[in-house]
Chain A
Amino acid sequence: MGDRRSKSFYFLGAFFIAYVLFLYGPMFAIYILSFQGPDGGLTFPMNGVSLVWFGKVFSGSGIVDIGAAFNRSLKLGLVVMILTVLISVSAGMAFRKAFRGSTILFYVAIASLIMPSIITSLGIALEFRLLDDFLVKHSEGWTTAMGLFTSGLGAHLTWTLPFGLLIMFAIFNRFDGRLEEAARDLGATPWQTFRHVVLPIILPSVVGIGLFGFTLSWDELARSSQAIGSVNTLPLELQGLTTTVTKPDIYALGSLTSAVSFLVIFVALIVILVLQARQRRHGSDAGKGMV
């Protein structure tokens, strides 16, 4: 590993570029095709350029009620995001001290992460079905406990929380514990230590947890499939459309869905950068003499 770039660098660099093209290429194909002309089909070439297919999505003609699914997914994504952040940060703090069952909780989280989604989804569906059967027998007029913000929310959290916890582990692996000790020595209560010392330091990564929470929920499909009840989320509608739609409106819908993802990613990254810049400005007065 000298200073000059070796041959393998150029070879691997080319491989990396090919991989990135492989990652993004197909996606760009459908972003372009969603501007297909009114007579255009599902494949290239472009038959003119138009916004017809976006119009179709917004007016809802030809496609099932996309607007409602869009709203449902958005609301669920936001709730999942907030809960993922709160629960993960809290649990991450717990893992900083020894508590009984911490090892078990860790392994359960990992198991939840790698469990085939269809099994989790089936389990939640069964749980709610049995609960419904029980309640129908014992209370008048009971219909179902299954729904977007009961079984659906739970299904999504089993997917987002392990990511949140792992990010918290990554944060605290690099965290300097002496900062907390210093705060305590200066008389801060545990809450003050958290609020004024720990939180500002970990905040950029916490935004990252929120990003994972929202995007994973927004795109979640396999775990929702059985556990969402009678209504569908946007990815479920999209999956249903893959077998029926023969017009580019599915691309337009795909582009819109991706646009939301990209917007969220963009905002989150900007917030992270701003927070980090702020930390650099306010973080340290080392070398600035006695205050």
Chain B
Amino acid sequence: MPSRDLPHAACGKSFFLRRKIDLSMTQDRKSFIGWLQAGPMMLIFALFFLLPLVFVTIVSAWDYNEYEMIPAFSLRGYTDTFEGCIADLPELCTILKTYLKTVKLCLLTWSLTLLIGFTVAYFLAFHVRSKTWQIVLTLLCTIPFWTSNVIRMIAWIPLLGRNGLVNKGLQGMGLIKQPLEWLLFSEFSVVLALVHLFTFFMVVPIFNSMIRIDKRLIEAAYDAGATGWQTLVNIIIPLAKPGIVIGSIFVITIVMGDFVTIGVMGGQQIPSAGKIIEARLNALQFPAAAANAVILLGITILIISSLTRIVDIRKEL
């Protein structure tokens, strides 16, 4: 806190007294109190986040049989995962196909959430002028985030099912004869549900970046004869980039590891990186599950680190 060392209006006698005490209270002591205050959080993350990650890494290199893990070094978890990847060439093996599918779902969801999230954030930041309305409308977008994801998934069933509203409506209008089967329990419904659930994660950071853009910059561009489109491309998008990157990190990591939405909305038929881990766990093959987790983690870290090259997260919060 640099402001504490600045002389200011209150610099009477007490200020100098305080300063003396501040100096005698060394940096070490402050650091110690900081440690005490942050201690519980550090402990929770150490016990329930960092240590588990260490165990995942260790167990991924253990041996296993049908029902338990065996604490002996073995790369079976990895070799089983990539089984057939060389033998089946030029066909793709299961794991690569699964990852390709996951990445495809991820890119579809990412581009849609970005498009919708950016537009919504733009409206909230630049077109809603009163602060109260801004809060009310932001809250309107946030409330579903506080309700259950599973319910928001189930909610699509009466709309998209074989006898759902959409099929009934289209049939009523005479546009189709047979109900559309690809509306529910398909890749379509998975992407729809993912966009439905996670656009929020784009809206908030992008809105946060946009709200900090100095309005005078936009006026200056306008005065200098820029069209609305030019202002958007040359001023707003570059300045909103941090928000876009943070939102992208959220959405991409969620979708890459997702197994619940893909499971429920895909009718448990669509494979994904997260579902492989779940399947291995259900078969009690812990080292294989852990090996898959390490692979997924590696890919996720790769994506994030390439995204964070573009922006420094810490500065933006």
Tell me if B270 counts as interface (CB < 8 A to partner A). Answer: no
C-alpha spacing A16/B138, complex, angstroms: 11
Q: How large is the interface on B (under 10, 10 to 19, 20 to 34, 35 or more residues)?
A: 35 or more
Partner of B256, one of A116, A126, A254, A265: A116
Which of A57-65, A136-144, A237-245, A281-289 lies at the interface with chain B?
A237-245
Q: Which residues of A contact B163 (CB under 8 A)?
A: 41, 43
State whether B44 touches A129 (Cβ < 8 A).
Answer: no
Query: How does the 8 Å CB contact mask read for A153-193 relative to B, with 1 for contact and 0 for none?
Result: 01101100100011001100000011001101100000000
State the majority secondary structure of interface residues on B: helix
Tell me if A12 counts as interface (CB < 8 A to partner B). Answer: yes
A interface residues, tally (CB under 8 Å): 101
Q: Which residues of A contact B96 (CB under 8 A)?
A: none
Q: Which residues of A contact B289 (CB under 8 A)?
A: 122
C-alpha spacing A169/B314, complex, angstroms: 11
C-alpha spacing A257/B304, complex, angstroms: 34
Tell me if A29 counts as interface (CB < 8 A to partner B). Answer: yes
Q: Which residues of B contact A118 (CB under 8 A)?
A: 257, 259, 274, 277-278, 293, 296
Min CB distance, A40 to chain B, in Å?
11
State whether A154 touches B38 (Cβ < 8 A).
Answer: no
State whether A1 touches B219 (Cβ < 8 A).
Answer: yes
C-alpha spacing A98/B36, complex, angstroms: 13
C-alpha spacing A19/B36, complex, angstroms: 45
Q: Which residue of A lies closest to B208 (CB)?
A: A170
Q: Which residues of B contact A182 (CB under 8 A)?
A: 10
Min CB distance, B175 to chain A, in Å?
18
Q: Which residues of A contact B45 (CB under 8 A)?
A: 105, 108-109, 112, 158, 161
Q: Which residues of A contact B150 (CB under 8 A)?
A: 219, 221, 235, 238-239, 242, 254
C-alpha spacing A100/B124, complex, angstroms: 39
Min CB distance, B102 to chain A, in Å?
11
State whether A221 touches B120 (Cβ < 8 A).
Answer: no
Quick one: which of A9, A12, A106, A218 has the most chain B CB within 10 A? Answer: A12
Query: How does the 8 Å CB contact mask read for B116-141 relative to A, with 1 for contact and 0 for none?
Result: 10011011101100000000010111
State whether B41 touches A110 (Cβ < 8 A).
Answer: no
Min CB distance, B313 to chain A, in Å?
7
Chain B contacts to A: CB under 8 angstroms: 1, 3-4, 8, 10, 14-15, 18, 27, 30-31, 33-38, 40-42, 44-45, 47-53, 55-56, 59, 116, 119-120, 122-124, 126-127, 137, 139-141, 143-144, 146-159, 161, 163-165, 168, 196, 199, 215, 218-219, 222, 228, 249-250, 253-254, 256-260, 263-264, 268, 274, 277-278, 281, 286, 289-290, 293, 296-297, 300, 304, 313-314, 317
Chain A contacts to B: CB under 8 angstroms: 1, 8-9, 12-13, 15-16, 19-20, 22-27, 29-30, 33, 41-44, 86-88, 90-91, 93-103, 105-106, 108-112, 114-120, 122-127, 129-130, 151, 154-155, 157-158, 161, 165-166, 169-170, 177-178, 181-182, 184-185, 211-212, 215-216, 218-219, 221-222, 225-226, 235, 238-239, 242-243, 250-251, 254, 257-258, 261-262, 264-265, 269
Interchain residue pairs with CB less than 8 A apart (6): A100-B31, A123-B52, A124-B48, A235-B148, A242-B153, A254-B155
Which 3 A-B pairs rank lowest in CB-CB distance, beginning with the nearest? A116-B257, A123-B52, A99-B34
